[in-house]
Amino acid sequence: MERWQVIAIIIGLYLGVTLAIGLISGRRASKSVQGYVAGDRDFGLLVMYFVLGASLFSAFAFLGGPGWAYSRGAAAFYILCYGVLGIAPYFFIGPKAAALGRRHGYVTQAQLICGRFPSRTLSLMIATLTVLAFIPYITLQMRGAGIVIEAVTEGHIPLWAGSAVAYGVVTIYVLFSGVTAVGWTNTFQGLFMLTIAWTLGLYLPISLYGGVGDMFTRILAERPELLSLPGLTASGEPWSWGGYSSAIIVSGVGLMMWPHLFMKAFTARSDDTVRRTVVLFPTFQLFLIPVFLIGFAGVLYPESPSSSDFILPFMVLNADLPAIVVGLFCAGALSASMSTGDALMHAAASVTVEDGIRPFKSLTDLQRRRLIQGIVLVVGAIAYFFAITEGVSLVVLLLTSYGIICQLAPPIVAALYWRRATTAGAIAGFAAGSATAAFFFISGYLGTNLRPFDLHEGLLGLLVHVPVLIVVSLLTQPQPQQHREAFTAAQQA
């Protein structure tokens, strides 16, 4: 049997186990929309920890992270920064959202926002923005899966086929089991990818350089620019501090604003579960350390991959590892991709129905669930199309999505903490911030960088969003006191 065939068998076994876990776990949940979208609000600490950690650290971390460490050096450290900063506000916001969810039956972010700022228009705007942000994020996961499978099977399974097989499995268990499958498969996948990442992250520097310290000593001597903050840009020029710091701010603000992460507050068994998850979450950042070590291990390697995003599979294939080990590595990389992709596909479909369709059309519980399942297929198909045609860096795809999704932060904070905020202010701010972010993104995409100080377009959007929300709210009629007090009481219930 050829080497690539052994690897393909191991990949197949891993996918089979993941599918079984996803389908079996789904039997525990009720057949209602609340069961499908919020897991009957019964996630404990273990599942919450891994569903947040594994959902966040995805193909961008397993492939894009090493790719940036390899090509841009210290620039990759921005990922470590925002992961710790971004989770902190959830300690306060998460329990409030969970209380509102239990009181009013919320299962999505927009339902919470529009519970405070009643508006079908705002609900539709949030749903549209969310899906637009999700598509490149899901595309990233599918490309990541395809890249790894194509590399380790020596091209016998091309990117398009690898992505299709891996996400065929994801689609099946999300389709039939909803968020419960996402939770339990993420727990399995999180444990698996942590084990593989640490094993490879220590093995490669030791085998190539004699140790981690020796590796960095050589890099410091031969490529010192890679170890100096803030690192390099894609073109090899020094990354500006404006670009570096704004990437951290945008990613930190947007981290828990991702609906597939924020919505997990509605699945938690209790408020204490949310708080304990936040306290433990930074430990998941340890996953990034071996991933970066793998990228740095390739810096002085005599050969180079066709793309920096390929550095991890490239190093594995050139390290003369047994086929079984390579197969397990591939399974670990697939864990990173699939553990985020399943949550994204589930959330995208849930948001589309609950926030984009339901406010305009009366649906039964069964109709809502079936419509969500149908949209899972549609979202998956659209992302797959872009996955097999897109050639942009994986981390660039992620940063683009963060620029869009961080616009959800101001209305969330205003809904929970500012009584004087109004529906008109929320709509105006959201529209102005989103339009600003889109304008600067499109101008950069067309080759005209109009961003002052090289700031990220998402931060520029927030700089417009917040003042507009405040000014329009102060200029418009305050909401009825009864409505505000009812919302506040629900947070304290």
Within 240-351, strands assigned E span none
The 10s digit of each residue's pLDDT in 325-343 is 888 878 877 887 887 888 8
104 exposed, middle or buried (CB, 10 Å; 0-12, 13-18, 19+)? middle
**In this structure, are residues 334 and 11 in contact, taking their beta carbons and an 8 Å threshold?**
yes
- Region of 303 (left: φ > 0; alpha: ψ -120 to 50; beta: rest) is beta
Per-residue pLDDT band at 493 (split at 50, 70, 90): very low
Whose tokens are 């979208």? That residue is 37
Residue 390 has pLDDT above 60, yes or no: no
Mean pLDDT, rounded, for 241-260: 84
Neighbours of 171 (CB within 10 A): 21
Note if the pTM is more than 0.75.
yes
Q: What are the sequence ranges of the domains in the chain?
A: 3-394
Q: How distant, in Å, are the alpha carbons of 417, 459, 469 from that of 488?
A: 9, 29, 20
> Would you state the pLDDT for residue 317?
80
Instruction: Identify the pLDDT of residue 232.
Output: 87
Interatomic CA distance for residues 83 and 291, integer angstroms: 15
- Cα–Cα distance, 354 to 124 (Å, whole number): 10
* Alpha carbons 393 and 408: distance in angstroms, whole number: 25
Name the CATH topology of 3-394. Sodium/glucose cotransporter (1.20.1730)
State how far the Cα of 55 lies from the Cα of 138, in Å rounded to an integer: 11
Sign of the four-CA dihedral 48, 14, 396, 348: negative
State the pLDDT confidence band at 481, using cuts at 50, 70 and 90: confident
Q: In 323-478, which ranges are continuous DSSP H helix? A: 323-351, 365-387, 394-405, 409-417, 423-445, 457-475
Query: Which has the closest alpha carbon to 79: 295, 264, 322, 343?
Result: 295
Q: Tens digit of pLDDT for each residue in 126-152?
A: 999 888 888 888 888 888 888 888 888
Better-scored residue on pLDDT, 461 or 39: 461
Give the C-alpha distances (Å, rounded to integers) separating 465 from 126, 253, 440.
Answer: 14, 13, 14
